[in-house]
C-alpha cells in the first residue's frame, strides 16, 4: 500500500477562548476587566492564515462589550476564514449576583434562570457589537450538564465544546465524558444519545497510546490517593510509560502533542481539536507566557504540530461549525449514516 493511501483523513480545529486577562491567584474579576490582549489577535490571525488554520474565537462578555476589543474581533470576523462563538465566564457576565467563589465560576453550578439571563446577555452583546449570531459555545472553566445543554438548545446553539476529557475537580467532572465528537444524550451529556439538535465537539485530550478510555482508567488508578506516596503518575510521565496530554500549546510541548496526535490518529479520531486562551498571546499577563520568547515558542509549537500533521495525514482545516458539518455529511464514515443524515 502506498504511503498516500495509508494517510488518515483528519479535520483540524483550533478554538481560542477570547477573553479578559486573568490573574489566577486573585479573585474572579467582576468589573473593569482588562482586554488588552485582544490587541494581539490580528497578528495571531495572520499567523493562523499563514498555516491554513481557520480559528474559532469563542468570545466572552468583557471582550464583546468593550468597543475597542469588539471592533478588533469584528474586523477579524469579516475575513471569512474564522468563526465567532460564545464563551460564558459567569463571574463577569451580567446580571452579576450571588456568591463569586470557585464553585460558582463553573456554569454547571449556577441556578438555571441565572444561566439563561447570562447567556442572553452574552449572545446579545456579541450580536450587537460584533454582528454575529453565535451558534457554538463553551462554558468558562469547562463542564456541561443536561440542564445547560437544554438551555443552549433553546437559545439556538448547535454545537457545544465544553467537554474537557479526562479531567475532574471538586466542582465538575469530565472523567466519564466521551472524548470524541458525538450527539450528546440529553439525559447524560457525557455519552451519545438520540437527540440531533446540538452536537458536542470536545477538545482533543488523551494519552501517548491509542484507546484513550482504557488508558484513562489506568491513569485514574495510578492517581488514586492510596498510591500517592509512590508517585506513580510522575514516574509514568518521566519514563514515557503513560502521559496524559492536552492538545494545547499552553499545556504540552510540541513533542507531546505529536505523541497525542499519533495516538489519536491510530484510534481513528476524526477531529484534532487544539485550544488556547487569547490572554496567552499577551506575555506577562497570563500563566503560560511570561515574555516574548515564550510567545515565540508558543507560535513555534503550533507551527511544529501543523507540520507534523501535514506530514502524516490528509488535513482539512475547519472552524468548529465546519468540522461538525463535515462529520454530519459523512466525513471518513465517522458518524453512522443515520446519525450523519440530519
Residue with cell 465537539: 201
* Residue 244 near residue 252, CB atoms below 8 Å: no
Residue 314 pairs with which residues in a beta bridge? 9
- Find the binder of Zn ion among 13, 14, 19, 257 (CB under 5 A): 19
The verdict on 140 binding Zn ion (CB under 5 A) reads yes
73: its cell numbers: 474581533
* Residue 276 near residue 56, CB atoms below 8 Å: no
| Cβ-based nearer residue to Zn ion, 94 or 193 | 94
Which of 17-25, 76-84, 238-246, 320-328 is the region at the interface with Zn ion (rule: CB under 5 A)? 17-25
Which of 101-109, 136-144, 248-256, 266-274 is the region at the interface with Zn ion (rule: CB under 5 A)? 136-144
Which element (helix H / strand E) includes 121?
A: helix 112-130
| Cβ-based nearer residue to Zn ion, 137 or 331 | 137
| Cβ-based nearer residue to Zn ion, 54 or 141 | 141
Nearest CA to 277 out of 28, 29, 35 is that of: 35
The verdict on 21 binding Zn ion (CB under 5 A) reads no
Shortest distance in whole angstroms from residue 309 CB to Zn ion: 25
Subset of residues 42 to 81 that bind Zn ion, contact rule: CB under 5 A: none
| Cβ-based nearer residue to Zn ion, 162 or 321 | 162
* Residue 212 near residue 162, CB atoms below 8 Å: no
The verdict on 85 binding Zn ion (CB under 5 A) reads no
Shortest distance in whole angstroms from residue 140 CB to Zn ion: 4
Shortest distance in whole angstroms from residue 280 CB to Zn ion: 11
| Cβ-based nearer residue to Zn ion, 19 or 200 | 19
Phi, psi of 121 (to 5 degrees): -60, -40
- Find the binder of Zn ion among 11, 15, 17, 181 (CB under 5 A): 17
Shortest distance in whole angstroms from residue 284 CB to Zn ion: 19
To 10 degrees, the CA torsion angle through 155, 152, 280, 252? -150
Closest residue to Zn ion: CB criterion: 17
Shortest distance in whole angstroms from residue 303 CB to Zn ion: 24
What lies within 8 Å, CB to CB, of 179 at 6+ separation is: 163, 165, 166, 202, 205, 206, 212, 213, 216
- Count of C-beta atoms within a 10 Å radius of residue 222: 20
C-alpha R_g of the chain: 19
Which of 15-23, 186-194, 227-235, 242-250 is the region at the interface with Zn ion (rule: CB under 5 A)? 15-23
Count, residues near Zn ion per rule CB under 5 A = 3
| Cβ-based nearer residue to Zn ion, 17 or 179 | 17
| Cβ-based nearer residue to Zn ion, 57 or 334 | 57
| Cβ-based nearer residue to Zn ion, 8 or 285 | 285
Q: Is the peptide bond before 56 cis (omega within 30 degrees of 0)?
A: no
* Distance (Å, whole) CA 295 – CA 38: 15
Given the rule CB under 5 A, which residues bind Zn ion?
A: 17, 19, 140
Amino acid at each position: 500500500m502506498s504511503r498516500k493511501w495509508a494517510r488518515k483523513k483528519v479535520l483540524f480545529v483550533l478554538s481560542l477562548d477570547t477573553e479578559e486577562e486573568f490573574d489566577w491567584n486573585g479573585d474572579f474579576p467582576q468589573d473593569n476587566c482588562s482586554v488588552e490582549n485582544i490587541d494581539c489577535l490580528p497578528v495571531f490571525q495572520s499567523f493562523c492564515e499563514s498555516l491554513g488554520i481557520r480559528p474559532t474565537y469563542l468570545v466572552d462578555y468583557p471582550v464583546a462589550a468593550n468597543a475597542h476589543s469588539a471592533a478588533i474581533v469584528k474586523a477579524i470576523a469579516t475575513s471569512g476564514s474564522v468563526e465567532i462563538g460564545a464563551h460564558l465566564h459567569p463571574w463577569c457576565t451580567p446580571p452579576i449576583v450571588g456568591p463569586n467563589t470557585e464553585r460558582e465560576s463553573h456554569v454547571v453550578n449556577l441556578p438555571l434562570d441565572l444561566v439563561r439571563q447570562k447567556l442572553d446577555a452574552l449572545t446579545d452583546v456579541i450580536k450587537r457589537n460584533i454582528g454575529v449570531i453565535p451558534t457554538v459555545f463553551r462554558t468558562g472553566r469547562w463542564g456541561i450538564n443536561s440542564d445547560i445543554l437544554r438551555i443552549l438548545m433553546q437559545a439556538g446553539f448547535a454545537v457545544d465544546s465544553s467537554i474537557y476529557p479526562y479531567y475532574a475537580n471538586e466542582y465538575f467532572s469530565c472523567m466519564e465524558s466521551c472524548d470524541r465528537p458525538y450527539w450528546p444524550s440529553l439525559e447524560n451529556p457525557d455519552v451519545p444519545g438520540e437527540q440531533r439538535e446540538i452536537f458536542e465537539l470536545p477538545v482533543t485530550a488523551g494519552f501517548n497510546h491509542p484507546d484513550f478510555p482504557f488508558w484513562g482508567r489506568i491513569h485514574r488508578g495510578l492517581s488514586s490517593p492510596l498510591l500517592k506516596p509512590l508517585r506513580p503518575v510522575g514516574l509514568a510521565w518521566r519514563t514515557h510509560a503513560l502521559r496524559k496530554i492536552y492538545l494545547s500549546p499552553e499545556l504540552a510541548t510540541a513533542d507531546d502533542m505529536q505523541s497525542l496526535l499519533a495516538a489519536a490518529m491510530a484510534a481513528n479520531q476524526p477531529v484534532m481539536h487544539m485550544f488556547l486562551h487569547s490572554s496567552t498571546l499577551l506575555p506577562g499577563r497570563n500563566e503560560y507566557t511570561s515574555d516574548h520568547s515564550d510567545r515565540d515558542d508558543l507560535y513555534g509549537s503550533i507551527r511544529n504540530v501543523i507540520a507534523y500533521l501535514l506530514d502524516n495525514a490528509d488535513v482539512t482545516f475547519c472552524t468548529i461549525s465546519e468540522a461538525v458539518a463535515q462529520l454530519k455529511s459523512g466525513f471518513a464514515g465517522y458518524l453512522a449514516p443515520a446519525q450523519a443524515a440530519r
